[in-house]
Amino acid sequence: MRTGRSAGDFWVSMGYLILFALLWFFVPRLVRHYMAWKTQSAAQRSFTVRFTMFSWVLAFLFVGALLFLPNKGRVIMLVPVFLAGATLAKWWQTSRERLRREADADANFARARRIN
């Protein structure tokens, strides 16, 4: 006759504990991102979706190139990939700022128009 818990019960309990910890860690962050997403204008959301899809396509191409190129080609490929990534990051930042400024200007104009 056996008393106590089995090793399987321990791992099930640890799984629930890890799941709870992950939910506790990620859910508040996801809620903050969702609320920030809702406050964006339609143009900002559209730009974000299009740029994200474009970035995923580039990432898949990069991973595919890493899989199929020989070692020397991989090393040579890293320099243009880094430069393209830095350029895209800067372009992303300036485009988002431009869209925010335009959305603020439109909101201020609409608010002023309603008052008069």
Q: Quick one: 54 and 99 in the same domain?
A: yes
- Residues 83 and 107 grouped into a single domain: yes
Tell me: do 27 and 71 sit in the same domain. Answer: no
CA distances from 49 to 18, 36, 101, 105 (A): 31, 14, 19, 23
Are 66 and 114 in a shared domain? yes
Tell whether 105 and 49 lie within a shared domain. Answer: yes
What is the helix, strand, coil percentage profile of the chain, to 5?
A: 90, 0, 10
The number of distinct structural domains making up the chain is: 2
Say if residue 24 is in the same domain as residue 61.
no
Tell me the pTM: 0.49
Give yes or no: residues 25 and 50 share one domain.
no
Q: Does residue 74 share a domain with residue 51? A: yes
Domain limits at 29?
1-39
For range 72-85, the mean pLDDT: 82
The whole-angstrom separation of Cα 1 and Cα 4 is: 10
Same structural domain for residues 34 and 68?
Answer: no
Is 78 in the same domain as 30? no
Q: Quick one: CA dihedral 91, 95, 97, 98, positive or negative?
A: positive
pLDDT tens digits along 15-66: 889 988 888 888 888 777 777 777 677 777 788 788 888 888 888 888 888 8
Residue 56 sits in the same domain as residue 31: no
Nearest-10 Cα torsion for 48, 50, 52, 57? -170
Residue with tokens 């990620």: 26
User: Are 64 and 115 found together in one domain?
Assistant: yes
Q: How far is CA 88 from the centre of its chain?
A: 15
Residue-level pLDDT at 110: 60
Supply the pLDDT for residue 98: 86
User: How much of the chain, in percent, has pLDDT values that exceed 70?
Assistant: 83
| Amino acid letter for position 90 | K
